[in-house]
Amino acid sequence: MQSKYGGYMGRIARFDLSTGVLSDYPWTDQDREFFIGGKIAATKIMFDNFTGHEQPFSEENMIIISTGPLTGTGVPSSSRFDISTISPLTGITTSSNCGGRFGYYLKKAGFDALIITGKCSEHSWLEIDNDKFRLHNADDIWGLKTSETQTKLSEKIREQKPGKSVKHAQLCIGPAGENLVRYAAVVSDDRVNGRGGIGAVFGWKNLKGITVSGNKPFNVSNPEKTRELCRKWFSYLRSHPLTGKQLPRLGTAGLVSQMQMRGMLSTKNYNYGRYDDFDMVSGETLAETYNIVNKGCLTCPIKCARTVEFEGKKIKGPELETLALLGGGILNNNLYDILKWNYELDELGMDTISASSTLAWAMEANEKGLWQNGLEFGKTENLSKIWEMIAHRKGIGDELAEGSKKLAEKYGGKDFAINSKGMELAAYEPRRAVGMGLGYSIANRGGCHLNGGYLVIAEGLGLFADPQTPKAKADFTMLFQDLMETISTTGQCLFTSYAFFPAFLITKPNSTITTIVNKAIPHLGWLFRLINRCAPGLAIHLPVFHHTKGVKYAMDMPMTFGKYIAIGERGYTMERALNTRFGISAKDDALPARLTDIPQDPSNPTTKVPLERMKKTYYKARRWDKNGIPRESALRKLKIIK
Which amino acid belongs to residue 630? P
- Please enumerate in sequence order all residues whose Cβ is within 8 A of that of 32, keeping only pairs 6 or more positions apart, or say none: 3, 5, 8, 69, 557
Contact of 40 with 32, CB cutoff 8 Å: no
Estimate the share of the chain in helix, then strand, then coil, as percent rounded to the nearest 5: 45, 15, 40
Contact of 608 with 599, CB cutoff 8 Å: yes
CA distance 363 to 372: 9
CB atoms within 10 A of CB 637: 16
Q: What pLDDT score does 551 carry?
A: 96
Residue range 429-453, pLDDT digits in tens: 999 999 999 999 999 999 999 999 9
Residue 424, pLDDT > 70, answer yes
Q: Poorest-confidence range of 114-118, 196-200, 302-306, 475-479?
A: 302-306
Residue range 57-98, pLDDT digits in tens: 999 999 999 999 999 999 999 999 999 999 999 999 999 999
Residue 312, pLDDT > 90, answer no
Q: Where are the alpha helices (DSSP H) in 127-190?
A: 146-160, 175-178
Contact of 152 with 161, CB cutoff 8 Å: no
The interaxial angle of helices 383-391 and 335-348, nearest 10 deg, is 10
Burial class of residue 25 in the structure, from the number of CB atoms within 10 Å of its CB (0-12 exposed, 13-18 middle, 19+ buried):
middle
Q: What pLDDT score does 1 carry?
A: 63
Residue range 256-265, pLDDT digits in tens: 999 999 999 9
Pairing of strands 305-310, 291-295: antiparallel
Pairing of strands 207-213, 169-172: antiparallel
Burial class of residue 631 in the structure, from the number of CB atoms within 10 Å of its CB (0-12 exposed, 13-18 middle, 19+ buried):
middle
Q: What are phi and psi of 541, to 5 degrees?
A: -120, 135
Residue 275, pLDDT > 70, answer yes
CA distance 202 to 176: 11
Which amino acid belongs to residue 447? G
DSSP 241: I
Q: Where are the alpha helices (DSSP H) in 383-470?
A: 383-391, 397-400, 404-411, 434-442
404-413: long-range contacts, CB 8 A cutoff, minimum separation 24: 404/354, 404/357, 404/358, 404/361, 406/182, 407/358, 407/361, 407/362, 407/365, 407/371, 408/361, 408/365, 411/365, 411/370, 411/371, 412/365, 412/370, 413/361, 413/364, 413/365, 413/368, 413/370, 413/371
Residue range 23-68, pLDDT digits in tens: 999 999 999 999 999 999 999 999 999 999 999 999 999 999 999 9
Which amino acid belongs to residue 434? V
Q: What pLDDT score does 598 carry?
A: 98
Residue range 357-401, pLDDT digits in tens: 999 999 999 999 999 999 999 999 999 999 999 999 999 999 999
Q: What pLDDT score does 591 carry?
A: 98
DSSP 240: S
Burial class of residue 633 in the structure, from the number of CB atoms within 10 Å of its CB (0-12 exposed, 13-18 middle, 19+ buried):
exposed
CA distance 481 to 535: 14
pTM of the model: 0.97
Contact of 63 with 86, CB cutoff 8 Å: no
The interaxial angle of helices 335-348 and 146-160, nearest 10 deg, is 40
Q: Poorest-confidence range of 56-70, 263-277, 285-299, 424-438?
A: 285-299
Q: Looking at residues 584-600, what average pLDDT do you find?
A: 98
Pairing of strands 207-213, 124-129: parallel
CA distance 493 to 505: 22
CA distance 604 to 515: 23
The interaxial angle of helices 561-581 and 38-49, nearest 10 deg, is 40
Contact of 431 with 385, CB cutoff 8 Å: no
Q: What pLDDT score does 537 carry?
A: 86
Query: What is the side-by-side strand order in the sheet with 305-310?
Result: 291-295, 305-310, 313-316
- Please enumerate in sequence order all residues whose Cβ is within 8 A of that of 642, keeping only pairs 6 or more positions apart, or say none: 636
